[in-house]
Amino acid sequence: VFSEKYIGFIQKADVIFVVDISNWERVGELGSLIMRESKAVKICVDHHPSNSGFADLNIIDEKASSTGELIYGLGESLGVLLDENIATGLYVAVMTDTGSFRFPSTTSKVHMIVSKLLEKGIKPEKIYREIYERRSPSRMKVLGRALSNLNIECEGRVAWFYVTKEMLEEFDLSTDETDGFINMLGDIRGVMVSIFFLERNEKQVKVSLRSKEDYDVNVIANRLNGGGHAHASGILMETSLKEAIEKVLWEVKKYLTKE
């Protein structure tokens, strides 16, 4: 969580690494602070196609499954010796960004890297449990509300739902705890495009998009000033929930009619 108490630390830094971020805006207030207060060399490690090379030194490979894969390669090139602690961090990065190794980006190279990490004694079951099996009852109740708002469109190819600010407040749930909600939609038979609308306030909505096979949701996100990857993208819209839903669905349907 950003805090101005870190300004001194940022001002003294010689090098600042920015990881898994395609532009300074994605870092929010912290990004503005770094640009304003720091003379450090900025190094970006990223795999987003939309990254324009905003840092002083950019290590970008949009074909990589994750920044974890890229950092593993960098460490290998620099002769960094892996221990269990480093291997655990890299495993988390790769696992989460490949959807637990189910996304198309999960290549033979990814599995080779994971095999090397396993040799260092990491504990996959414990890691998975710590990340995915710590849900609160409040989270499950809000997810239930979201599923009650489930909509299926475009001959079953599109599924979407939403969570309002009021729902979050009712169950005292933070916006961060809605991470992963969208994955429920991908379990529905025939659904190729999943959309989750998260109302942060009356004038701001976070939109998450996921897809399968040849459906490229990054195209849709780019049209609305968002971005990400072909099968996982996002948009931050400065508008009402109602208008966000209308705009995104319009773009989705327009995209599908051209398929």
Which CATH number goes with the domain that contains 62?
3.90.1640.10
The CA-atom distances, in angstroms, between 192 and each of 148, 195, 209 are: 20, 10, 10
pLDDT for the residue 52 = 85
pTM for the model stands at 0.81
**84 and 121 belong to one structural domain:** yes
- Alpha carbon distance 234, 109 (integer Å): 26
**HEC sequence for 225-248:** CCEECCCEEEEEECCCHHHHHHHH
pLDDT for the residue 2 = 65
Reading the block at residue 49, the tokens are 């196609």
pLDDT for the residue 27 = 80
pLDDT for the residue 152 = 98
**245 and 142 belong to one structural domain:** yes
pLDDT for the residue 74 = 97
**25 and 122 belong to one structural domain:** yes
**126 and 157 belong to one structural domain:** no
End position of a domain, from candidates 97, 112, 130: 130
- Alpha carbon distance 176, 12 (integer Å): 30
Q: Which amino acid is at 232?
A: A
Residues 6+ apart with CB under 8 A from 35: 24
**119 and 16 belong to one structural domain:** yes
Domain total in the chain: 2
Which CATH number goes with the domain that contains 142?
3.10.310.30
**110 and 180 belong to one structural domain:** no
- Alpha carbon distance 109, 115 (integer Å): 10
**226 and 141 belong to one structural domain:** yes
**213 and 148 belong to one structural domain:** yes
End position of a domain, from candidates 101, 130, 159: 130
Which domain covers residue 58, as residue numbers? 4-130
Cβ(158)–Cβ(152) below 8 Å: yes
Task: Give the pLDDT confidence of 155-202 residue by residue, as tens digits.
Answer: 999 999 999 999 999 999 999 999 999 999 999 999 999 999 999 999
Report the 10 Å Cβ neighbour count for 95. 23
**3-state secondary structure (DSSP) of residue 38:** coil
CA-nearest of 1, 2, 60, 70 to 34 is 2
pLDDT for the residue 259 = 61
Parts of the chain with a pLDDT under 50:
none
**167 and 117 belong to one structural domain:** no
